[in-house]
Amino acid sequence: MAGALDGIKVLDLSRVLAGPWCTQILADFGADVLKIEAPGAGDDTRSWGPPYLTGDDDMPGEKGESAYYLSCNRNKRSVAVNLADQRGADLIRRLAAEADILVENFKLGGLAKYGLDYAGLKAINPRLVYTSITGFGQTGPYASRAGYDFVAQAMGGLMSITGEADGSPMKVGVAITDLSTGMYAATSTLMALRHAERTGEGQHVDVSLLDTQISMLANQALTYLVGGQSPGRLGNAHPTVVPYRLFRTANGEIVIAVGNNGQFRQLVKVLGVPELADDPRYATNGDRVHNRAGLEAQIEDLTSAWASGELTATLLAAGVPAGPVNEVGQILTDEFAEARGTVHHFTRADGASVPSVAYPGKLSATPATFRRIPPRVGEHSRAALAEWLGLADEELDALAAAGVIADRADLLAAQKQGETA
């Protein structure tokens, strides 16, 4: 089955998370993604562990592939190129001439010194979609700053609305701004690609962590823009919907999320206090928001007498949204994950299982496919350069000997030769 992006060539000069997340999405739908890495250590996240998945082909000093790296680099090929060498920059320029998309997350101006900025590559490939992911954008007062997810969560207002009301500001438990930026970058890139296919005109796509995080404030941003007051932290409560939070039970806690008056009526019926549905203090959501404290205390007094599983099942049967607070391992082994194919397992050449969390969208005609295990540094240097640029073995040998490229097969062969010498 052909993928939606079969035939699209992507040059991936990004590392860590936002950029690789973007290019993994493109790769999942069939794009040929060449991950350009520095010879040696490669992507920073390769060392971000433990845990690490070790393999039979580990070389001295290698710890294996980190879980972090494995999370965002499937379906790609790794080409190790030394950009600091002019011949390496020339190789990237030649690859860019063949590419449909280039994704990079260097600091502002970081690629210009190699002649690999948008202006330089547009001159040789006018149809190129060139996506730049930075902390603060290509323009504006903070453009020169380095960008990190944690900083963007803090500056972008997310931490000010996350955490308990009387506690410290809190970041989200995953790099949510990086991930959101990667998704916005993928969407923006595909829109630019559609334009390029229609007109032959590429463009520069400028996506930043801080722009993304501000956008992701959604209703909380509009709370300020409409009401003129910054929202604060409410722990697990919702700022404008009540009851919609974590409630204590006899043996733990569950989430109850009441989104309308009908669900509220069913909730209080299950809890044995149907009269609350007609109490003028709680008749509408607006009333419940204004009288939040008293209502939530009453509800928690009642939920505390129930076992978590029994209450969740009873509420769901009554049409009230509710659910358990799962640990990561619990949801990844839940029957939902099994039924939906949430976890994919690659089988490596040495027989090891390499897990991956699948792309969540289910497309009926062009679904995501999982074809390649996240690559080792330089695993495909020779093959990809030969395929994209038609380089002969002699030229590849010369580039490898000069340290311009590194191919993992060469390194493994040298290691094996050293072991037998």
Q: Among 87-101, 127-141, 338-352, where is mean pLDDT lowest?
A: 338-352
Cα 115 vs. chain centroid, distance in angstroms? 29
Q: What is the pLDDT of the chain when averaged over all its residues?
A: 95
CA angle 352, 11, 185 (to 5 degrees): 95
Same domain, 307 and 393: no
Q: What are 30-43's pLDDT values in tens digits?
A: 999 999 999 988 99
Chosen domain end from 293, 328, 363: 328
Cα separation of 407 and 81, whole Å? 9
Mean pLDDT, residues 218-228 taken together: 96
Instruction: Establish if 348 belongs to a structural domain.
Output: no
- Six-digit token string for 133: 């992911």
What is residue 80's three-state secondary structure? strand
Smallest CA-to-CA distance from 410 within 387, 376, 362 is with: 376
The structural domain count of the chain equals: 2
Distance CA 205, CA 196 (A): 12
Predicted confidence at residue 410, as pLDDT, reads 85
Tell me the residue range of the domain where 94 lies.
Answer: 9-216+372-419
The amino acid that residue 145 corresponds to is: R
Indicate whether 101 pLDDT > 60.
yes
Give the CATH number for residue 267.
3.30.1540.10
Same domain assignment for residues 109 and 208: yes
Residues 6+ apart with CB under 8 A from 419: none
Active-site amino acid positions: 178
Average pLDDT estimate for 191-206: 98
Rounded to whole angstroms, the Cα distance separating 59 from 46 reads 14
Residue 285 lies in a domain: yes
Per-residue pLDDT band at 418 (split at 50, 70, 90): low
Calpha distance 209→150 (Å, rounded): 10
Do 210 and 268 fall into the same domain? no
CA distance 2 to 367: 9
CA distances from 13 to 22, 43, 204 (A): 12, 10, 15
CB atoms within 10 A of CB 341: 11
pLDDT of residue 2 exceeding 90, the answer is no
Tell me if 312 is assigned to some domain.
yes
Lowest-confidence pick of 48-57, 124-133, 161-170, 292-301:
48-57
Tell me the mean pLDDT in the region 250-260.
97
| Radius of gyration of the chain from its Cα atoms, rounded to whole angstroms | 26
Does one domain contain both 296 and 168?
Answer: no
